[in-house]
């Protein structure tokens, strides 16, 4: 897996999630590193994901008993050990040969829910079997469940077939990606592809992403014809809902208007996300969309579950999103990096790092359970100052 003999630091030295990123960079081939770390255009969307977490401050309360803590949080009716989950990530075989089965085993041991990507390195049935096998070994004590992230292909028969496979395998919920009418311009990937075309003497080889998966993209984010449907629209939720007959989350919502449309179409949740900064240039962060929703459509929080995803690197920040009404937060790249450098032990350690940070912050914030979190426990003024505001001609009735 490594492109040289350099080994990652001892796992005990991974104190923050950023430590996993540095370790992964040492062991990953350049091609795999570029694919995982790259973003759209100049990287503004990715940078805003990272920066906006630090632009919200806590307002801690004191002299409140925190001698016992309850950090558990249910997602779509399923109990979970933490208020965060593992986000969907494609082609994990490029991080570690254990790929998705290894990731879900580690997450299951920690009681985390995991969203499995359409663009898997291993068959979705094999991934589910790894999860179920781990559950058996744990005596079915883990609350962990698997969800499936769906890229809707152009061929509706193919889409129906895939949904039926997911349903038959036992996945709990379907997370439909709605921000990929096309793929974003992944600049670092483009440079790498151009160099490869010029330098035919390159000896570095990395298996094509999702080479064994007809639904996966080619390596470097190059689209496969028919893989993404630019014609996907709100009407498609009707046949998808009938085919699935279970909880549905729309992944990639970036405006309050679309949150309201999601409510009107009866889905059970929305994932506010800009695809890890990999799609549209200058996208809003999930936190910005969360604030926009709180400001212009607060009723949404009583009508469906609202998740956020993108740029999370510190467990303490999970609580910021929950204070603002989020149900839970998705974590992606840190798990990719942790698995790349340390395998299943990295997955478990990454979870421990985030969980400890949540526990420490809950105590210092003055809450013993997540239902005690309130909007007045954070100061989001800096983000609110830059939040989108309607023009004079616009009014809330147009939502």
> Tokens 């999103």 map to which residue?
321
Annotated binding site: 35, 88-90, 117, 149, 151, 177, 186, 251, 273, 275, 278, 309-313, 332-333
Burial (CB < 10 A; 0-12, 13-18, 19+), residue 204, is: exposed
How many Cα atoms occupy the beta-carbon half-sphere of 376 within 13 Å?
A: 2
> Tokens 């193919």 map to which residue?
158
Q: CA-to-CA distance for 82 and 354, rounded, in angstroms?
A: 9
Q: CA-to-CA distance for 329 and 315, rounded, in angstroms?
A: 10
DSSP string, 3-44: SSSPPPPPGGG--SHHHHHHHHHHHS-HHHHHHHH--BTTSH
Q: Which residues are catalytic?
A: 275
N- to C-terminal Cα separation, the chain: 50
Q: CA-to-CA distance for 29 and 33, rounded, in angstroms?
A: 6
Torsion of CA 323, 326, 328, 330, to 10 degrees: -110
DSSP state of 99: H
Q: Are strands 57-58 and 378-379 parallel, antiparallel or unpaired?
A: antiparallel
Task: Give the number of other CB atoms < 10 A from CB of residue 160.
Answer: 15
């Amino acid at each position: 897996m490594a492109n040289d003999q350099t080994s990652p630091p001892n796992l005990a030295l991974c104190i923050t999630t950023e430590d996993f990123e540095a370790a992964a960079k040492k062991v990953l081939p350049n091609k795999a590193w570029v694919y995982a770390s790259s973003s759209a255009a100049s990287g503004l969307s990715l940078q805003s994901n990272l920066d906006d977490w630090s632009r919200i401050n806590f307002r801690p309360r004191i002299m409140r008993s925190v001698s016992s803590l309850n950090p558990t949080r249910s997602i779509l009716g399923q109990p979970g050990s933490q208020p965060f989950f593992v986000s969907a990530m494609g082609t994990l075989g490029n991080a570690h040969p254990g790929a998705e089965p290894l990731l879900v085993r580690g997450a299951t041991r920690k009681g985390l829910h995991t969203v499995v990507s359409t663009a898997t390195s291993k068959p979705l049935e094999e991934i589910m079997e790894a999860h179920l096998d781990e559950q058996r070994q744990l005596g079915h004590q883990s609350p962990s469940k698997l969800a499936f992230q769906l890229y809707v292909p152009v061929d509706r028969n193919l889409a129906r077939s895939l949904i039926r496979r997911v349903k038959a395998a036992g996945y709990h919920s379907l997370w439909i990606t709605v921000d990929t009418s096309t793929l974003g311009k992944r600049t670092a990937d483009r440079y790498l592809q151009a160099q490869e075309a010029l330098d035919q003497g390159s000896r570095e080889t990395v298996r094509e992403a999702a080479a064994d998966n007809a639904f996966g993209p080619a390596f470097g984010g190059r689209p496969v014809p028919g893989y993404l449907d630019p014609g996907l629209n709100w009407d498609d939720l009707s046949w998808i809902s009938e085919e699935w007959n279970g909880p549905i989350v729309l992944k990639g919502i970036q405006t309050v208007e679309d949150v309201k449309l999601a409510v009107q179409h009866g889905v059970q949740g929305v994932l506010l996300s800009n695809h890890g900064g990999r799609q549209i240039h200058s996208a809003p962060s999930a936190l910005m969309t969360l604030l926009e929703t709180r400001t212009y459509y607060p009723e949404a929080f009583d009508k469906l579950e609202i998740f956020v995803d993108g740029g999370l690197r510190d467990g303490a920040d999970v609580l910021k999103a929950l204070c603002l009404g989020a149900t839970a937060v998705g974590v992606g790249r840190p798990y990719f990096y942790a698995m790349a450098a340390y395998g299943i032990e990295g997955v478990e350690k990454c979870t421990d790092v985030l969980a400890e940070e949540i526990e420490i912050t809950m105590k210092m914030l003055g809450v013993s359970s997540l239902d005690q979190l309130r909007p007045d426990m954070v100061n989001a003024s800096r983000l609110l100052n830059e939040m989108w505001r309607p023009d004079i001609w616009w009014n809330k009735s147009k939502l």
